[in-house]
Structure formats: structure tokens, C-alpha cells
């Protein structure tokens, strides 16, 4: 057993269970011993009193004891003596004939029955003395027996203490063994988790059979490992994609600068600056989007939230845009959400940029509410999005049409940012069916504007 067993869950449960067993069993044992002793004493007292009363009654009726020998009426009470007022034994049972007077107790007329526990040479007795009559010269009947071992010594207490100690020990041992068996799967899962490292998240812990808490814990651990594996894979893919996206403009910029360095006389300075600025702008756009993705996370700060009217937000955004195709509006007033205005505006901008990039003749924006949910939809009449691509397009640096130029295709982070903003605001952004085009639908929890005081 480990020296730190008391610090383990198994040790603590065993210790607590043992203490509880001790707290319950010790008072129970003390009570049982007390009740047993009281019951034995009452039983013996009843037997000796009944015998003494019967002998006293027979003495009052003038019964004559042949040879001074009193017959034993109850085998459990073999010691009987009748003592006259002079203190002389006038009759006795066979067991008490050779004994001295059993007791010096002399009941009075007011208390004619007295129980005592005298000791004579060689033994201690449990005895009842009964006055035969109320007359001053009445004799006294003494009926007794040897004190039972239960009352004479501490054998009962010793036996009870040993039994209680054994029960407490068995309780502790059983708890230790049961907890060891119950926690064995936990130890196995811990060992398996210790063997899993960041470089290989494909392994899983053993899931015990059944539908208990340990099985649920193993399922949760495996689910967490699966999410970590998926997240690690996405991060590796993201790092690879980001490196590729950043390397392209850097390579273009470097090529232009090296060409200018090698052939300074043949270099068009204006073209060089224009190309360098274009690549720099692309680098800045990618880095800005990456920083925004990192800041959004999975939630937004409550202190940064405010009441935002989606209809008004759409109109404000359209006033500063110059799109190549007309935008049709179907906006309801009073559709209000609680969120970060700048992030929601960026979400709308990204959806409009994406729609304008793929539209043929028009873009349509609608704002409304459905069952307490604010709904903002942006659709275009361009190419439809296949069912199998409707989730993939929200991944970072994903472009469905590889033939498009990079300027037309953007950074590849717009829809990923829009999805993250929606999730951080407790909503969702999905692609839905649309006749002849693509339809992006944002759903957010709606709320009523607070009343002015």
C-alpha cells in the first residue's frame, strides 16, 4: 500500500467509510450491551422475586418444611432461606442449607421486598428478600442465585468490542477492495492518457461497458480527444494554408525587388511601387483578418455589446459601398440584436463582398424575424453552391473556384470570419437552397430595445 494512500480517493473513501462505521457501530454496541445487561438483570430479579414471594406465601399459610428443607420451585433459583426474627435460619433449600445467612438485609413493613447483590465466601449472589408479613416478628425469605457471568464480569463488553472491531475492520477492508475494483478503469484511463501526447492524438482511452459514470467519463474523454485531434489537424492545415497565402505575395514582392536590383535601368519605378503596394496590401489584409479571427474567439465581451438594429445597419453599410451590381433590399424595421456593432458590420461586409464577387446581375439583402430569431439573408444570382461544399466554404483559405484571380477571390478568410462572428454572438451562419444562386442566412437571438426611462 502506498504511503500516500490517505491522499488518494480510494484511501479517503475507505477512511470515511471506516469512520462512519465506527460512529454507527460503537454506540450501537454500547447500547446493545447496556440493554442486554438490563434485560438479564430484570429477568433474574423477576425469577428471584417470584420464588421469594411464593415461599413467603406458603410460609404465611403455615406450610411445614419437612426436615427444614425447602423444595426448589425454580431450578434457576436454587438458594432459598427462611430466617426468623432472631436471625436464625429456620428452613433452607438443599443448596443453601450449608451456607451462612445469604444477606443481612432485613426488609421493613414499609418496604417488604428488597433486591440486592451480596457476596458470600466463594461467590456473589443476585438475591431478593421478601418479608413474610407486616408483623414485627415476621420472618424473611431470601431467594437468590449465583450472579450470571453477563453481570458478574466484563465478558459481554469484551465480546461486543471484539465483534465491533472485526465489523469495522471488515467494512474498511471491503471498502478498500470495492473502491480498488471500481477505480481500476480510472487507473487504466489515466495510464492511457499519460501515453497520449500532442504529436499523436489519434489514440483513445478504453471505455468500460455499461451506462455508468465511468463509461460516461471515458466517452467524454474520448470526445475531448477527438475534438483536440480535429483542432490540431485544423491548426496544422491553417498554418500550412496561412504560410502558403503569405508566401505568395512575399515571393511576388521579393521577385520585383530583386528584378529592380539586378536591372535598375530597365525598372519602371511606378510599376514597381504599384506592384509592391498591391502585394503589401494583400499581406496587410491577410494579417488583419488573421488578427480579427484570433480576437473573435468563441464569445464576445458583454461589456462591448450594444443594441444593434440590423435593418439600420444594412442601410448604413450600403451608403458607403460602390458595388458593380445593384442591391435589392427587403428590410424590416425593429429587428434588434445585442452584439458588437463593429463585428456585425464586418460580418455583413464580408457577406456583401462575397455576394458581389459572385453575382451576375443583382444581390438581394433581407432582414426579418422568425419565432424570436433575427434573420439576415444575403443572396446573389451567381453560381449555386453544391451541397457537399456548403460547410467547407467556411473553412479558412477555402476557394471553390480556383480559376478566379486572387484579387477577385479575396483573402479566403471572409466567410470564416463571418461564421466566427455569428457563433460568438450565439447565432449561426449557413448556406440555404436558393433558385439560381447562393443564399447565406444569419440567425441571431433577437431582443426588444430597452425602454427609455
CA-CA distance, 419 to 416, in Å (whole number)?
Answer: 5
What is the DSSP annotation of 314-345? HHHHHHT---SS-EEEEE-TT-EEEE-HHHHH
Confidence (pLDDT) at 47: 92
What cell does 227 get? 475534438
CA separation, residue 84 to residues 138, 141, 145, 387 (Å): 7, 9, 21, 119
Please check whether residue 81 is in contact with residue 105, taking contact to mean a CB–CB distance below 8 angstroms: no
Please check whether residue 116 is in contact with residue 103, taking contact to mean a CB–CB distance below 8 angstroms: yes
Task: List, for residues 310-331, the tens digit of each pLDDT value.
Answer: 999 999 988 888 888 899 999 9
Q: Cα 70–75–80 angle (5° rounding)?
A: 35
When pLDDT is averaged across residues 48-65 and rounded to a whole number, the result is: 84
Percent of the chain having pLDDT more than 70? 89
- Give the contacts of 233 (CB within 8 A, at least 6 positions apart): none
Confidence (pLDDT) at 450: 53
Task: List, for residues 287-305, the tens digit of each pLDDT value.
Answer: 777 777 667 765 566 667 8
Sign of the four-CA dihedral 107, 111, 112, 115: negative
Query: Partners of 398 in the beta sheet?
Result: none
Q: Cα 374–375–377 angle (5° rounding)?
A: 155
Confidence (pLDDT) at 241: 67
Task: List, for residues 207-253, the tens digit of each pLDDT value.
Answer: 777 777 778 888 888 888 888 877 777 677 667 766 766 777 788 78
Confidence (pLDDT) at 441: 94
Closest CA to 376 of 396, 341, 352: 352
When pLDDT is averaged across residues 32-55 and rounded to a whole number, the result is: 90
When pLDDT is averaged across residues 358-368 and rounded to a whole number, the result is: 91
CA-CA distance, 139 to 88, in Å (whole number)?
Answer: 10
When pLDDT is averaged across residues 29-35 and rounded to a whole number, the result is: 91
CA-CA distance, 238 to 121, in Å (whole number)?
Answer: 102
What cell does 218 get? 471515458
**Out of 23-27, 54-58, 385-389, 393-397, which region has the weakest mean confidence (pLDDT)?**
393-397
CA-CA distance, 153 to 159, in Å (whole number)?
Answer: 12
CA-CA distance, 328 to 363, in Å (whole number)?
Answer: 6
Per-chain mean pLDDT for the chain: 83
When pLDDT is averaged across residues 17-31 and rounded to a whole number, the result is: 92
- Give the contacts of 171 (CB within 8 A, at least 6 positions apart): 17, 18, 21
Confidence (pLDDT) at 358: 86
Is the model's pLDDT at 284 over the cut of 90?
no
Confidence (pLDDT) at 414: 81
Query: Partners of 89 in the beta sheet?
Result: 83
CA-CA distance, 79 to 94, in Å (whole number)?
Answer: 8
Confidence (pLDDT) at 303: 64
Is the model's pLDDT at 378 over the cut of 90?
yes
Confidence (pLDDT) at 436: 78
Task: List, for residues 401-451, the tens digit of each pLDDT value.
Answer: 533 443 444 667 888 888 988 988 889 999 988 877 899 999 999 866 555
CA-CA distance, 119 to 319, in Å (whole number)?
Answer: 117
CA separation, residue 330 to residues 208, 266, 303, 311 (Å): 56, 55, 31, 9
Task: List, for residues 134-143, the tens digit of each pLDDT value.
Answer: 888 899 999 9
Is the model's pLDDT at 357 over the cut of 80?
yes
Q: How confident is the model at residue 392 (pLDDT cuts 50, 70, 90)?
A: confident
When pLDDT is averaged across residues 158-162 and rounded to a whole number, the result is: 91
Number of Cβ atoms within 10 Å of the Cβ of 244: 10
- Residue 449 gets which letter from DSSP? P
CA-CA distance, 69 to 81, in Å (whole number)?
Answer: 9
Task: List, for residues 114-135, the tens digit of each pLDDT value.
Answer: 998 888 777 888 899 999 988 8
Sign of the four-CA dihedral 120, 123, 126, 131: negative
Confidence (pLDDT) at 406: 39
Q: What is the pTM of this model?
A: 0.52
Confidence (pLDDT) at 299: 59
Confidence (pLDDT) at 417: 84
Is the model's pLDDT at 202 over the cut of 80?
no
Task: List, for residues 70-111, the tens digit of each pLDDT value.
Answer: 888 889 899 999 999 888 888 898 888 888 888 888 999 889
Confidence (pLDDT) at 266: 77
Please check whether residue 374 is in contact with residue 336, taking contact to mean a CB–CB distance below 8 angstroms: yes
When pLDDT is averaged across residues 37-66 and rounded to a whole number, the result is: 86
Amino acid at each position: 500500500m502506498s504511503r500516500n494512500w490517505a491522499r488518494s480517493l480510494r484511501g479517503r473513501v475507505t477512511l470515511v467509510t471506516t469512520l462512519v462505521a465506527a460512529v454507527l457501530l460503537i454506540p450501537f454496541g454500547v447500547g446493545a450491551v447496556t440493554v442486554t445487561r438490563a434485560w438479564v438483570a430484570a429477568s433474574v430479579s423477576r425469577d428471584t422475586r417470584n420464588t421469594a414471594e411464593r415461599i413467603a406465601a406458603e410460609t404465611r399459610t403455615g406450610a411445614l418444611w419437612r426436615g427444614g428443607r425447602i423444595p426448589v420451585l425454580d431450578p434457576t433459583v436454587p438458594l432459598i432461606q427462611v430466617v426468623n426474627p432472631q436471625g436464625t435460619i429456620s428452613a433452607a433449600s438443599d443448596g443453601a442449607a450449608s451456607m451462612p445467612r445469604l444477606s443481612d438485609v432485613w426488609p421493613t413493613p414499609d418496604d417488604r421486598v428488597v433486591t440486592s447483590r451480596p457476596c458470600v465466601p466463594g461467590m456473589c449472589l443476585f438475591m431478593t428478600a421478601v418479608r413474610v408479613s407486616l408483623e414485627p416478628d415476621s420472618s424473611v425469605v431470601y431467594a437468590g442465585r449465583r450472579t450470571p457471568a453477563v453481570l458478574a464480569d466484563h465478558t459481554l463488553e469484551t465480546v461486543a468490542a471484539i465483534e465491533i472491531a472485526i465489523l469495522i475492520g471488515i467494512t474498511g477492508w471491503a471498502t478498500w477492495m470495492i473502491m480498488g475494483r471500481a477505480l481500476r478503469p480510472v487507473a487504466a484511463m489515466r495510464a492511457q492518457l499519460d501515453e497520449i501526447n500532442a504529436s499523436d492524438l489519434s489514440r483513445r482511452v478504453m471505455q468500460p461497458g455499461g451506462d455508468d459514470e465511468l463509461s460516461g467519463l471515458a466517452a467524454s474523454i474520448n470526445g475531448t480527444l477527438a475534438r483536440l485531434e480535429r483542432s490540431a489537424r485544423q491548426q496544422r492545415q491553417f498554418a500550412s494554408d496561412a504560410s502558403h497565402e503569405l508566401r505568395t505575395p512575399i515571393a511576388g514582392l521579393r521577385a520585383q525587388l530583386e528584378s529592380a536590383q539586378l536591372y535598375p535601368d530597365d525598372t519602371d519605378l511606378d510599376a514597381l511601387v504599384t506592384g509592391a503596394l498591391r502585394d503589401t496590401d494583400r499581406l496587410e489584409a491577410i494579417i488583419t483578418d488573421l488578427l480579427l479571427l484570433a480576437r473573435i474567439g468563441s464569445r464576445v465581451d458583454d461589456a462591448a455589446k450594444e443594441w444593434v438594429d440590423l435593418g439600420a445597419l444594412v442601410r448604413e453599410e450600403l451608403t458607403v459601398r460602390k458595388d458593380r451590381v445593384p442591391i435589392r433590399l427587403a428590410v424590416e424595421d425593429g429587428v434588434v440584436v445585442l452584439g458588437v456593432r463593429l463585428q456585425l458590420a464586418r460580418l455583413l461586409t464580408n457577406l456583401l463582398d462575397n455576394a458581389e464577387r459572385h453575382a451576375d446581375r443583382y444581390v438581394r439583402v433581407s432582414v426579418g424575424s422568425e419565432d424570436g430569431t433575427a434573420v439576415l439573408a444575403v443572396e446573389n444570382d451567381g453560381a449555386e453552391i453544391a451541397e457537399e461544399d456548403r460547410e467547407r466554404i467556411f473553412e479558412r483559405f477555402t476557394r471553390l473556384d480556383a480559376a478566379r484571380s486572387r484579387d477577385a477571390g479575396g483573402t479566403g478568410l471572409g466567410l470564416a470570419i463571418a461564421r466566427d462572428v455569428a457563433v460568438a454572438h450565439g447565432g449561426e451562419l449557413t448556406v440555404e437552397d436558393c433558385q439560381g444562386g447562393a443564399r447565406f442566412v444569419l440567425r441571431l437571438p433577437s431582443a426588444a430595445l430597452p425602454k427609455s426611462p
